[in-house]
Structure 1
Amino acid sequence: MRYDYWGKTFLDGDWHHLGHHCLDVAAVAERLLDANPVWAARMADLAPMPTGHVRSLVLFLAACHDLGKFHPGFQRLTSLGEKLGHRRGGYAHHHTEYGLALWEKIWPWDYLDLPDEYSLKPLLTAAFCHHGSPCDTCDLGHSAFSVEADAEAFVREVAARFLCESYEQFREVELEPLSWFTAGLIILADWIGSNEHWFKPVSKWDCFEAYWPVAQGRAADAVDALGLVGAHATDSCEFADLLPHLKGCAPSHMQQAVLDLPEPIGPEMFIIEDLTGGGKTEAALLAAHRSMRFGLASGLYVGLPTMATANAMYERLAQGYRALFDQDIFLALAHGGTFLNETYMSGLCARQGADNDEGGAVSAHWLADSRKKALLAACGVGTIDQALLGVLGAKHQSLRLLGLCRSVLVVDEVHSYDVYTGELLANLLRFHAAMGGSAVLLSATMTSELRRTLAEAWRNGRALAGKNVPEPEQDADPFSVSFPLMTRLTDEKGESIPVATRRTLNVAVESVYDESGMFDALRRAFKAGACACWIRNTVVDVLEAARLLVEEHGLPADRVLVFHSRFTGADRADIEREVLRVFGKESVASDRAEKILIASQVVEQSLDLDFDVLLSDLAPMELMIQRAGRCHRHERSRPVGYETAVMRVLMPEPADDAPGDWYGTMFEKGQYVYPRPAVLWRTARILCSKGAVVLPRDARELVEGCYGDGVLCAPHSMDGREMDAFGKQCADKAVACFGSLDFSGGYSLEDSPWGDDVAAPTRLGEPSHGLRLLRVEDDGVRLWSDDGRGASMDNCVRSEVRVPVRLLSSAHAPQSCASDVSSLMESMPDKGEWCVCLPLCEISPGVWSGSGKDARGVTRTVRYDQRCGLVVD
């Protein structure tokens, strides 16, 4: 080369040659493929060429990924560039754009037998645009002329090492599927290859043959230390070996049905429908282990609807997930509050302190330091949002897809998502199926329409991979479809498998037509020494019920627990642990007695809670079934008078001539949470008619009776509101379709929306933001949650509560502490830019108050305490 080129610089002034860095990244990509047979198989299946050809092409492009750094403008970003002889050039564009432009300039068509540039475009974009999202080419400028010869010489040298003698010509569309995988692989390889711990600076360029073995050795050390070697399943397929936490238990019928399945020969999707508490999760783990044992996957990711449900699942899996693997595997937790989970954090600390497992500690901490990397773990639990970002134009989405495509995707509570998120989930299934992954979907209350939608999404994904998956056979009458049910789709067949069950749910339903009846029921439960829960549909209703129960009905405040979403991260984690301790599976009678929980929807799914009597506001039928499953969930002795499971439901009377605002007259705020009055009317009518939730006997009738064809005819007065709700659902679905990526379009700027994680929402609710609470004390201002590390990012997030922007859009800092507030915000890692920092002063023991303005500019008073959470007056 005519000049030296720096690729990485270091704080001590040393630097790493650009050519060496490019080879480091290629060596890491090679090691990732060698160490992960499933990834290698995915890449081969996505390519329209022989395995050896696609591997050589991808490694060649990995070695060329930073071609744009040859540009003089980049080289002169530091004073080092001038010392190396680069005296001209401005940096008008990012080096990724320069890479595309430089490739076009020196396009090696005359000496490399590659597909033409237009056909290669998807892979070129994947390789050169390795900073998280596609980019476009740019004008190189005149200064690039001085480096073109060196750039071309480097391309020639790596081409001689990597490329095959000849390649067939392909159409652009044939390489688009491979571009998603290639983009993720090169991003990951670049992240690892840029780590100075393993890749020490070597500034003097020699030649490919001299440095390549060095790069390969470093790459092997790095990939192995970071735990990115493909995980292997244990050889055992015995129930007791795979699920040791169920030692002594016989497999449920659904679990046995999974164990009895024939050997898989390709990607599969399961839809498992079974009762709440029926062992669906364990059945999914058995299905995932089966895929891993036969080499079709090398990990699993369990996605759940909320952080609370993800935390609960993490606790469950932590008991025995290691039994699925033949090596020590780190269990990752992926959501916005991972460090609030004590079990997770203590596990990380334990690995860090284990002297005999230095590699495991390095791997765990590297995977845990970013939610984007958490999906690369061999075993992970988190919110489904972390996976959904893979099909949105969010930065580094291809890295998420890369992690998922080697894992079995398990999605719990698939019935719980709205139309927008449900459409994103369907697109995720299309992507996952097209990339060769397997999936297991779990639900206790699925409609036939949702089952068809999810199955169709999977079939479409396999069609993108060139496979024609048959439709599963099932009864034409949705009311007659078996329950429990396993739906299984493979490339060869689609089948619906009826499954028996030993478990039943029989909860009597009592209709209550005014709130006084609910408070009477709670008082009676308290006096009888029972524990009870009232699930309310809004936070405002939760707080009001808790206040009235203490102030007007005389229950002791320390016996009334409140649980909803408007607590700071730290306080919510504490409350969640306390709720599980008092009402969970292992709770004891002395803790449960005379305890009343007033909660929002945070308790209705996946949290293993058990109450002597359950109260609920009226909600759609699938949620009422979920809530009923929290009543008498476990076998235990009950207080006198509470031997039978009963759910009392607060509802307006479902009369034939009910008015259009039938639901809203009783639930003024709840009508905006559940805006379909006809569905709610049918739910109330069926519950009143049945007088009980009896499963599995009535499973289909309860759900299909509210949503399916031939349902009860609701009063016509509700038609207008139903049409409004239907219109909004159509609009939300259109937004999801427009905002999500198209697999067939490849990794490209064209026709795809790209932004960051904030601009790519996985939920389409009303705008909200984090409210970061600050305590104003005599000795200064500090974060609400301060563990002694001051304004660390952990403490910042632990001190936040999420609120709608309409409630509070700005905060007021009293003049007496304004300077201290500014100083504290300046010390925060994010400077408080992405949240609202709200100073609070203690107005009575444990009660803090502050003020701000809502979206209309009206001044609002805010109160916060650790028992009731945030209240905006």
Structure 2
Amino acid sequence: MVDHEVSIVAVMAAMGLSSVTVGRVSRLWGKSAARNGGRTHLLLGHLLDTAAVAGVMWDRYLSVAFRRRLDEVSGGRGKLWFMWVCGIHDCGKACPAFQAMDAVEAAPVLASGLVWGRLPTDRRKKWRHDVAGAALLKPRLIAEWGSEESAGWVWPLVAGHHGAFPSVRGLQPPHREVQGKGVGWEEAQRAVVDVFTRAVGFEDLAGVRPVGALRKAEQLALSGLIVMADWIASDSSQFPGLAEAAFVSLAGSRDRAEAAWGRLGLRGGWQGLPLPDDRLGPLTGRLGVSPRASQRELLERAWSMPVPGLQVVEAPMGEGKTKAALAAAEVLAARFGFDGVFVAMPSQATSDPMYEQVLQWVRSFDPELDSQVALLHGRRRFNAWWRAIWEGKPRPDDDRSACGHGTGQGVGFGDEDYGAIDEDADYGLQPAEPSAGCVLGAGADGPAHWFLGNKRGLLTAFAVGTIDHLLHAATRTRHVMLRFAGLAGKVVVIDEVHAADIYMRQFLVEALRWLGQAGVPVVLLSATLPPAQRQLYVDAYLSGVLGVADVREVVPEPGGYPCVTVAYGLGGRAVVETSREAVPSWRGSVPVALSWLPDVDPAGVRVADAVWECVAEGGVALVVVNQVARAQGIFEALRERGLGGDVHLLHARLCAAHRADRTAECLRLMGPEAGSDRPHRMVVVATQLAEQSFDVDADVLVTDLAPTDLLLQRIGRLHRHSGTRRAGVHRVPRVLVTGVEAGRDGVPEFLWASRAIYGTWSLLRAAALVTEAAGPLAAADARSVPLETAGGWSIPADVPGLVARAYGDEAVCPEGWREADVWRQWQARELKRMDEAGKYLLCRPREWAFPTLEGLHYAGSRAATEEELDAVVRDGESTVEVVIVRRVPGGYRTVDGTWLGVHGEVDDDEVTDWLMGGTLRLPSSLTEAARTGLRPLPGWSGRPWLQYLPALVLEQEGATLLGKQRVSYDGDLGLVVERQ
């Protein structure tokens, strides 16, 4: 039995190592004084620190499900094995290539007799210690474990701890000198591995051999946990350096790890959630819901699945899918040992209200868990609840301090590298820099700000964010394992899954494969999911479960709508089940009257006229158009007609503060709790921000034509809430479809912006389906069609049929629309987009069934920043976020007029808040000019949140030239872009 209380020197003595070897191993450094708070830290000290952090993570962070799997593959020694595999990661630092990197630290090593010759100076030939560790460990594992299979999945975990997994060919050193030659180096390298192994608790390296193997997706999650342990243990403020081996021990590292964990405020989620006493309790008790039939169906499926699997939920807008999904997540987590939830939303705008809903839900388990709920998008600073919890600001519902959390100081950039930044830079790699918002934790009772660092958000126990964060975990980018580790211990809920276009679907399919192989429960939600997409997602998940590249398990046709489809693996075979009988919706279908309003004028004057007529006697109208400039034009036209404060404008080119305020105001006046606040007359003019997950209730909808599923989503904002009082003229929900007009031979012509966003084929088929209900476009004029005679759809009964027809193989367009020609052009474009996405997917299709992570990063990604990665998964051009300031005599002011200073100086958090309220993302047409011409103001140097944020300086006349375009910001219209 190993005595863990003794120093590492005593361990080496007990092993019978020679004094020469002991002296040499005792001088190998792991963290240099120059980069470790002024104190050298020995290599063995860092290995033990990392192992000790892993031990704390096992006790307080890892999910029950993952601990169970590690126990299985290690023969019941899961915790000890996890500590070993996390700590061994840096064994490759015991080589000349690393030890020579700092001349001051190298001197004692040389003095001990470990010498080296001339090392390559070409950065491309440098021998990285992550790869060096795998190179020295791999042959020993094969020899002492007697199993190439076992060694084959473990050595990549060491080789990949700096974010990328090399191929086995990459383990060949470029020069013999860099790895260390001669008996002295070989003995020292062997001793580092053996001494660490013995100190952790194994008798020898042979005793570490696993009895089984993790699946590749589980290996990826484990790799992310290794990186997490390494970064925590590399924080010099928490783990000060130890330069004398006599002071290094596992017991000491445990004490340091326990203290650091507490100071950083780190913790897991449920940590073993008990099964609910009542099968409906997660809905009725925790969420206060009187269960609808569709919600009961989903919850019952969660109870009955024998193993974790995929659930695809299709139900009408407003049916309560999200609450049912949260209830199902509780059941799945309790039954199968998962520790938290990630809810993926289609956009930032939809993430905020979902964050608040999840926050309240998590509090129902334990009020202290609210500090473990993260909001993952770039504008979270403007969510009042997020700020209350993570920055210690007053809560939105009262004036008290937020639970005593935090200091009230603004969250800023961290200075710590968490073990990766400097070392990565030494090898010419893109640094894994902490992002804005990363500071040390606020203590055990507050939120763990460590999780706010770059690439770490998904490691938080509970998270709500855009679907991009899920898609990033399916890209072949550095540190992808951190993102996947954050998903692997959670139940994953993806809302509005239909919103992913064909490009994004490639990443979603890839993510589902990896999640399926990791055994992660996934719940997909949609009101308008095409059958082909349902089949695609089921096949992808089962591909991961079964570990084969191609799966085609026919999904039975649902018995009705709503419906729930489940897929899982059992005994090596796929099981797919769906609702065989119709599940009644919570409310009956109602007829929705459809009329054409032909108009392709970007200014939208005719649309404004029609909206004015619709609300002349009162009513609430929602106008959804496909272009910001068109929304601005309609808004101005309505104000000119005298609507004044009754008209609201909502789009993506509003600065953060204005957008947040207007969204909240619209939800207050048109949301489910509006009650007496609901105005007599109101118009909201919006872009696609109001398309989905926007819980408002309009009397009449005016919408640009969009693909059928998205058009139905917009209709879902119409007559949404029961009990809403409406004027008699609005007793029947009505939709005016615009953004289209009849061209030659009656073939529809679309707005240019609509064609650019959606493509002609999907618009053409949507127009055909609307024509069947509303009549020919050529003869249409919404104002001449009496409500009683207008054609329509029955919602929600017609939804699945309309979506199926819109995306099916059968022709739906009238003769003369040349549908086949348009389809061929569309198909060629879509195939090209699929191929483009394939360049960034985490795994090549032919390598999906490979059993290890070796060679996963066969080529790098061109995405170097979060913004570029967003563009990768969204198939968009990269964009730039800026903060708007106004130049005035003597200095600058914020967009709302707050004085800054001569050079833009910001002297307190309140001013920073006002300034940051002026952030917005520029359209992609301005990206090149912005990157060339915009910089932070001089007064922002060293200021958290601001020092890297470009300023869009509006001159005293209120505008500026950016490239060839005049850019201004109007308090009502938002960003206005005019070509000169």
**Alignment TM-score > 0.5, same fold:** yes
Q: How does 1:720-869 map to 2 (within 5 A)?
A: 720-742=821-843, 744-745=849-850, 746-747=852-853, 748-749=855-856, 751-754=858-861, 755-756=863-864, 757-760=866-869, 761-781=872-892, 784=895, 788-789=907-908, 798-807=917-926, 809-810=928-929, 823-824=938-939, 826=941, 837-843=951-957, 848-853=958-963, 859-869=964-974
**Distance change >3 Å, CA 485–CA 749, structure 1 → 2:** closer
2:456 aligned counterpart, secondary structure: helix
- Aligned partner (choices 618, 629, 632) of residue 543 of structure 1: 632
Alpha carbons 2:145, 2:206 under 8 Å: kept: no
Q: Establish whether residue 256 from structure 1 lines up as the match of residue 256 from structure 2.
A: no
2:712 aligned counterpart, secondary structure: helix
**Distance change >3 Å, CA 295–CA 359, structure 1 → 2:** farther
Letter in 2 for 1:538: Q
1:806 aligned counterpart, secondary structure: helix
| Partner Cα separation in structure 2 for residue 721 and residue 390 of structure 1 | 34
Letter in 1 for 2:965: R
Q: Establish whether residue 587 from structure 1 lines up as the match of residue 674 from structure 2.
A: yes
**Distance change >3 Å, CA 85–CA 333, structure 1 → 2:** same
Q: Establish whether residue 614 from structure 1 lines up as the match of residue 728 from structure 2.
A: no
| Partner Cα separation in structure 1 for residue 206 and residue 103 of structure 2 | 41
1:737-795 Cα deviation digits (max 9, x unpaired): 23111254543355354453455422002343334423212231356487754899988
| Partner Cα separation in structure 1 for residue 208 and residue 931 of structure 2 | 66
| Partner Cα separation in structure 2 for residue 46 and residue 96 of structure 1 | 34
Q: Establish whether residue 650 from structure 1 lines up as the match of residue 753 from structure 2.
A: no
Q: How does 1:119-518 map to 2 (within 5 A)?
A: 120-135=151-166, 136-137=170-171, 138-139=173-174, 142=177, 144-145=180-181, 147-160=185-198, 161-162=201-202, 165=206, 176-206=216-246, 211-223=249-261, 225-228=265-268, 231-238=271-278, 242-243=282-283, 249-261=289-301, 262-324=303-365, 328-329=369-370, 330-348=372-390, 349=392, 353-354=404-405, 359-367=443-451, 369-370=452-453, 372-464=455-547, 471-474=554-557, 481-492=559-570, 493-497=575-579, 498-506=582-590, 507-514=592-599, 518=607
Partner of 2:787: none
* 1:109 CA displacement: 3.0
- Aligned partner (choices 55, 58, 74) of residue 30 of structure 1: 55
* 1:465 CA displacement: 8.4
1:251-297 Cα deviation digits (max 9, x unpaired): 11122123434444321211011111101001101111111121332
| Partner Cα separation in structure 2 for residue 813 and residue 391 of structure 1 | 31
Letter in 2 for 1:181: A
Letter in 2 for 1:2: G
* 1:693 CA displacement: 3.2
* 1:464 CA displacement: 1.3
Q: Establish whether residue 7 from structure 1 lines up as the match of residue 92 from structure 2.
A: no
Judge which range, 615-624 or 800-809, deviates more: 800-809
* 1:370 CA displacement: 2.7
- Aligned partner (choices 767, 776, 790) of residue 681 of structure 1: 767
* 1:154 CA displacement: 1.1
* 1:694 CA displacement: 1.8
Partner of 2:95: 71
**How does the TM-score come out when normalised to structure 1?**
0.87
Q: CA RMSD in A?
A: 3.8
1:113 aligned counterpart, secondary structure: helix
Structure 2 residue runs of 5 or longer lacking an equivalent are: 1-21, 393-400, 408-440, 776-789, 899-905
Alpha carbons 1:242, 1:324 under 8 Å: kept: no
Alpha carbons 2:362, 2:369 under 8 Å: kept: no
* 1:455 CA displacement: 0.7
Alpha carbons 1:123, 1:182 under 8 Å: kept: no
2:245 aligned counterpart, secondary structure: coil
Alpha carbons 1:470, 1:494 under 8 Å: kept: yes
* 1:810 CA displacement: 1.7
**Distance change >3 Å, CA 12–CA 273, structure 1 → 2:** closer
Q: Establish whether residue 527 from structure 1 lines up as the match of residue 616 from structure 2.
A: yes
| Partner Cα separation in structure 1 for residue 819 and residue 232 of structure 2 | 58
Alpha carbons 2:546, 2:569 under 8 Å: kept: no
* 1:243 CA displacement: 4.7
Q: Percent identity?
A: 25
**Distance change >3 Å, CA 43–CA 387, structure 1 → 2:** farther
The aligned length equals: 843
| Partner Cα separation in structure 1 for residue 143 and residue 908 of structure 2 | 57
2:613 aligned counterpart, secondary structure: helix
- Aligned partner (choices 607, 610, 623) of residue 710 of structure 2: 623
Q: Establish whether residue 694 from structure 1 lines up as the match of residue 777 from structure 2.
A: no
- Aligned partner (choices 866, 870, 873) of residue 975 of structure 2: 870
| Partner Cα separation in structure 1 for residue 521 and residue 884 of structure 2 | 43
| Partner Cα separation in structure 2 for residue 429 and residue 46 of structure 1 | 25
Letter in 2 for 1:484: P
**Distance change >3 Å, CA 568–CA 241, structure 1 → 2:** same
| Partner Cα separation in structure 2 for residue 781 and residue 327 of structure 1 | 42
* 1:588 CA displacement: 4.5
Alpha carbons 1:525, 1:594 under 8 Å: kept: no
1:445-469 Cα deviation digits (max 9, x unpaired): 1111111011111111101189999
* 1:560 CA displacement: 2.0
Structure 1 residue runs of 5 or longer lacking an equivalent are: 476-480, 854-858
**How does the TM-score come out when normalised to structure 2?**
0.78
Partner of 1:18: 43
* 1:13 CA displacement: 2.3
**Distance change >3 Å, CA 37–CA 837, structure 1 → 2:** closer
| Partner Cα separation in structure 2 for residue 703 and residue 280 of structure 1 | 19
- Aligned partner (choices 643, 663, 672) of residue 555 of structure 1: 643
Partner of 1:568: 655
1:160-219 Cα deviation digits (max 9, x unpaired): 443564688999x98744531231111011112123454343322139xx7112223433
* 1:234 CA displacement: 5.0
**Distance change >3 Å, CA 546–CA 189, structure 1 → 2:** same
Alpha carbons 1:537, 1:600 under 8 Å: kept: yes
